Structure 1
Amino acid sequence: MASVRKSGGDNLLVRYIILVSWALVCVVPILWFLTIGFRPRTEIIVPEPIYWPTWSLDAWRLLASDWPIALYLRNSILAVAGSVVIDLVLAIPAAFALARYEFKGREDIGFYILSTRMMAPAIVAVPIFFLFKNIGLLDSVWALMLIYAAINLSLVTWIIRSYMLDIPKELEDAARTDGAGDLTILWEIMIPACLPGIITAAVIAAIFAINEFLFTLLIASTSKAYTMSVALANFTGGSDGVIYNAIALVSFIAFAPILILVILIQKHLSRGLTMGAVKG
């Protein structure tokens, strides 16, 4: 019995060592990247390593005086959050129809929806530019919401559909026996049952949206609609060269909202990622 307890304790210790080591691998690069934002640019570009850096707020002063980072962050949050809401409003009913309704070509339609995500974005860049120009939405956060939603809608629909396929049909049949309609079944049974999957799809859509650069640069022609991804590009050139400390600082500010969101919903997110296999 003592040997069994000792073996169990050793296994627990090994697990903690592995988890702590992996946590350090994930956290240390983030913290190191943040520290670059507190260092003067002259120390960052020197070829020799500096083990005892000098701390400076030059990058913070640059952002506060010359760059409206608060505006860029607000645009990013509004565009990403709005696109995720649009995706969920459209994807959940579509996923329910593809998962539960029986009709000819259902599997082909589902694959076609997913295949649109495989298309190169540059193919439709010019038509989308003229489309938004003609309807008067060019250079606006509303245009970014719509384009982000359009890009990620197929992926969100496919992910939610996969989770709905895992829900037993007996729950739906029992609800229909009690007189429930399709909307009642969707709202009271399907959505609560696959909520972790919906959250997972929403987080994935948010990550893809916040990293989108091509359409953001194409549609946001002036700084009033710039997002954090475009703001980063403004620090990569110019007469002063690459401003590394400002890039690190803006990158961390752009990364922080997603990090906070994942920490807040990590319980649902972990359930969603392990809820079952993706069905075709």
Structure 2
Amino acid sequence: MAKRRKSKGDNLVLRYLVLGSWALFCLVPIVWFLSIGFRPRTEIITPTPIYWPTFSLDAWRLLLADWPIFDYLRNSVLAVTGSVVIDLILGIPAAYSLTRYEYRGRDDIGFYILSTRMMAPAIVAIPIFFLFRNLGLLDSVFALMLIYAAVNLSIVVWIIRSYMLDIPKELEDAARTDGAGDLRILWEIIIPACLPGIITASVIAAIFAINEFLFTLLIASTKNAYTMSVALANFTGGSDGVIYNAIALVSFLAFLPILVLIVLIQKHLSRGLTMGAVKG
């Protein structure tokens, strides 16, 4: 009995040691990257190693005085959030249709939706630019919502579809026996049952959207619709060279909303990543 307790205690210590080491491995690069934003630029670019860096707020002053960085952050949050909402509004019914209804060409439609993710974005960049220009939507956050949603819709549909395939059809048959319609079944049975998959698809779509650069640069012609990804490009050149401390701060601010979101929904996200498999 004593040996068994000792063995369990050793396993617990080893488990905490492994988890603590992994947490340290993940957090040290983030903390180090953030620390670059609080160092003078001269210390960052010097070839001589500095073991005791100087604390400086020069990068913060640059961002707050010369760059509307919080406007860029607001544009990013609005564009990403709006695109995810659009993807869910369109993707959940589409996934339900692909898994529950039998009609001609269903598999072809599903493959076509997936194939839109396979092409290079640069192929459709020019047509999309002229389309949004003719619609008068250039340089607007709403245009970014639409383009992000269009780019990530296929991923959302197929992730949610894989979870809907695991839901027993007997649940829907029982609900129809009680007089429930398709919309009520979708809202009260299907969506709660595949909620982890919906959350996973939303987070993945948000990550892809916030990292989108090509279409953002194409659509956002002025600072009115600039996002954090475009703001980063403004610190990578010019007469002052690469402003490393400003890049570090902007990157951390762009990364922070996704980090907070993942921490808040980590239980649902972990279930969504481990339940179900993508089925063809």
Separation in 1, partners of 2:223, 2:49: 36
Q: Which moved more, 1:231-240 or 1:95-104?
A: 95-104
SS in 1 for 2:136: coil
Aligned-pair identity (%)? 84
- CA deviation string 1:157-183 (max 9, x = no partner): 010011100111111111011111100
Separation in 2, partners of 1:131, 1:104: 31
Deviation at 1:136, TM superposition (A): 0.1
Match of 1:41 in 2: 41
Separation in 1, partners of 2:116, 2:16: 43
Deviation at 1:104, TM superposition (A): 2.8
Match of 1:83 in 2: 83
Please tell me the residue identity of whatever aligns with 1:253. Answer: L
**Alignment pair present for 1:223 and 2:223:** yes
Match of 1:155 in 2: 155
- CA deviation string 1:52-94 (max 9, x = no partner): 0000000000001100001100100110000000000000000
**Alignment pair present for 1:175 and 2:175:** yes
Matches within 5 A, 1:1-280: 1-280=1-280
Please tell me the residue identity of whatever aligns with 1:222. Answer: T
Q: TM-score, normalised by structure 2?
A: 0.98
Separation in 1, partners of 2:250, 2:73: 10
Number of residue equivalences? 280
Deviation at 1:212, TM superposition (A): 0.0
Deviation at 1:19, TM superposition (A): 0.6
Please tell me the residue identity of whatever aligns with 2:182. Answer: D
Unaligned runs of 5+ in 1: none
Separation in 1, partners of 2:231, 2:256: 15
Deviation at 1:108, TM superposition (A): 2.7
- CA deviation string 1:216-251 (max 9, x = no partner): 001101111100000000000010100000000000
SS in 1 for 2:32: helix
Please tell me the residue identity of whatever aligns with 1:61. Answer: R
Deviation at 1:277, TM superposition (A): 1.5
Separation in 2, partners of 1:211, 1:47: 31
Separation in 2, partners of 1:110, 1:162: 12
Separation in 2, partners of 1:14, 1:109: 50
Deviation at 1:42, TM superposition (A): 0.2
Please tell me the residue identity of whatever aligns with 1:73. Answer: L
Q: TM-score, normalised by structure 1?
A: 0.98
Runs of 4+ in 1 over 6 A off after TM superposition: none
Deviation at 1:267, TM superposition (A): 1.0
Unaligned runs of 5+ in 2: none
Q: Which moved more, 1:3-12 or 1:63-72?
A: 3-12
